[in-house]
Structures are given as structure tokens and as C-alpha cells.
Amino acid sequence: MDARKLAQMIDHTLLAPEATMADVERLCAEAIDLQVGAICISPSHLPLTKGLLPSSIKTAAVVGFPSGAHNPVVKSREAQQACEHGANEIDMVVNLALVSSANWSAITDEVLAVRTAIPSGVILKVIIESALWSDEQIIAVCSAAVQGGADFVKTSTGFHKSGGASIANVQLMRKTVGETIGVKASGGIRTYADAIAMIDAGASRIGASASRIILAEAQ
């Protein structure tokens, strides 16, 4: 895959809690230089990006990040405010305790609450922390997220000790959601080979902070 096509599949990511204004400005400059499809940042950084990106580069904000343990009302308001501040994509973390307890209807409800709180044109990605779960749990949580209105299911926050994306889990997520729902692979994707392996497994988006390295290797 050539670098230009791959770049359009990348969410160039900065989620370090200590990231500064200068870091955000640098991320935006890199996004333009690399011609990525989107950036992914914390909601508090959204105002810093105003006027820094062309409309061709989307802005994703994380919600309920990184634990997912926030009340659905809080997640919904956080997502709504993120959109008011310029986000046109939302990456929300599912409540992991609901997965552990197999409360699939509650997962659908919280995803639906966020979906309802944001404009219909905003893409909603649901992070499931796939490295934590059995195949059966991955199938169930992905299905619940789609029932709630998810446009994408996403492997990982990149912050959980269980790990990030794996080829097997991306394959299973793609098989579960079919071809009409996106699959975003994130967490531990640091090379061109990593990115291509995830795309071959079924990923339609790549979340990465190492975008420059990945794309340099694609040349």
C-alpha cells in the first residue's frame, strides 16, 4: 500500500495526559505534512486546534478515557461538548465492568446515549479493550456497540496493561461487525508492517502516534 493511501487511514494520535499546547500544535503540523485522515486528541485540547487544520483532516476526541468507568450521562455530555468544540469524530471507551459482568444491554444503552447526544454526522467509535477479553466477549461487546449505534469498533486505548491490538482480535472484530461497520486498530502499532498486518486482518482505520515512522517506511 502506498504512503498516501495509508495516511488517509491513520488517526494521528496524541493522548499523553502531560501533552502541552506546543505538542498539540506540533501534532497538527505533522498531520498536515503527512496528509493523514484524522487526528485523535483529548477533549481539553480541542480549542487549541482551532484554525490549525484543513477540513480534509478530521478531528477525533476521546470520551470516557481511558478507563470507561464514567457514568453514561457524563460520557454523553463530554461527547456533546467535544462536538461543540470542533470534534467530528468521537472515540468512547466502553464501561469495562459491564463487559466483565456480561451486561450487554447496558453497553448498548450507554453507546446509544452517546450516539443520541452528538450530531448524526459525527462518527462514533467504541473502544472495547479487546486484549482483555475472550472471543465470546469480543463478539458480544462488538454486537452490543453496533446495536447502540456505533460506526466503528476499536481495539484499545493504548493505556491498559492488557495490551493493544492483535491480528486475531481485529479479524474477529471484522467478522463480527461485517463490512458496513468500521474497525479501528490501535495500541502498539509502530511500524509499516504492523499497520499493514492490521489492515490485512480487517482494520479500516489505524490509530497511531508513530505515524511519521509508519509512513516513512511505506515509501
Verify whether residue 91 is a known catalytic residue.
Answer: yes
Q: Which of 58, 75, 125, 184 is catalytic?
A: 184
Q: Which of 58, 75, 125, 154 is catalytic?
A: 154
Q: How many residues does the chain have?
A: 219
Segment (H or E) for 203: none
For 57, which DSSP code?
S
Verify whether residue 125 is a known catalytic residue.
Answer: no
Identify which of 163, 155, 142, 143 has the alpha carbon closest to the alpha carbon of residue 201. Answer: 155
- In angstroms, rounded to a whole number, what is the distance separating the alpha carbons of residues 157 and 170? 14
Q: Which of 11, 91, 151, 194 is catalytic?
A: 91
Q: Which residues pair with 174 in a beta bridge?
A: none
Name the 3-class secondary structure at 217. Answer: coil
- The Cβ of residue 2 has, within 10 Å, a number of other Cβ atoms equal to 9
Q: Residue 65 is which amino acid?
A: F
Verify whether residue 5 is a known catalytic residue.
Answer: no
The residues assigned a catalytic role are 91, 154, 184
